[in-house]
Amino acid sequence: MAFLAAAIQMNGGRDKGANLERAERLINEAARRGAEFVALPEVFSWRGRRDDAPAQAEDLDGPTLTLMARLARDLKLFLLAGSIYERIPGQARSHNTSVLFGPDGARLAVYRKIHLFDVDLPGRVTVRESDAMLSGSEVVCADTPLGKVGMTICYDLRFPELYRQLAFAGASIVTIPSAFTFPTGEAHWEVLVRARAIENQCYVIAPAQFGPNVHGFADYGNSMIVDPWGRVIARAADREDIAVAAIDLEYLQTVRRNLPSLTHVRLSGGHGH
C-alpha cells in the first residue's frame, strides 16, 4: 500500500487568526496535490512570548482543533495538528500537544510532548520551554488504516529510546512536528531525522517552522520526509512550502526483511521483539 504524505512548513507568529488562515490554505493545497496524510509543524497556531502563553492555550475541543477536525473531515484526509498549547485546568503552564485526526474528523490520538527544551547560551539564545510547559508522560502510537503512527515533537528527536519504543509498538510512520533553532538545526536536524528513520526502519514525517521567530532567533526549516532506508525523499524549500512524498509500506517491509535489525535488539528491554 502506498499513499502521499505532506509535511507543511510555515512561519508562525503572534496572530493566531493569520496562522490558522495560513495553515488552512496550506492544508487545502496539500490535499489538492493528492496528499492523504498531512502534517503541520509544532506550535503552528500561535507563537509568542511565554508570558502570553496561558492566555493562548486551548482545550482539545477549542477553536484551533475544531477547525482541524473540520478540515480533516471536509478533505477526507488524516491530519496531524502539529502541536498547540493545551490548557491544563488549574495550571498556568500548558502541555505541548500534538493531535491526529482521521478522515471522518474524529480525534484518533493525542500526544503530549515528553522532553522539554531548556537551554541558556549567554549572549546567544535562552530557551526555557519548561517555564511555559509541563511535560507529558505517555508514549503514543496511533492505529490507522494507513499503518501505525508514532507521535513525537521536536526536542524528542534527541531521545532515541522513545523512537525504539514506538518501533516496538508497531509504528511504520513517525511524526516529528518541530521548531528547531537554526544553529542546532544546521548541525543536527537532518542527521537525527535520518537516524531515527534508519535505526527504526520507518518513514519519518518532519514538518517544521522556518525563518525569524518572535523569540529573536531563526528556525531552521528543512521540513522533510525520510524513508526507512534513511533517504530524504522530500524537502521543503527555504520558505513557506509543502514537502510531498509517497509512503510505500510494501517498501518498508522489504527494508525490514532485507535488514532485520529490529529482530536482533538485545538491550533496553527490547529483547524478544
251 in Cβ contact with 228 (< 8 Å):
yes
Q: Which residues have a Cβ under 8 Å from the Cβ of 195 and sit 6 or more positions away? A: 160, 230
Minimal CA–CA distance to 177: which of 44, 269, 67? 44
Q: Which residues have a Cβ under 8 Å from the Cβ of 183 and sit 6 or more positions away? A: 124, 125
For the annotated catalytic residues, the residue numbers are 42, 113, 154
Q: List, as one string, the DSSP characters of 25-66.
A: HHHHHHHHTT-SEEE--TT-S----GGGHHHH-B-TTSHHHH
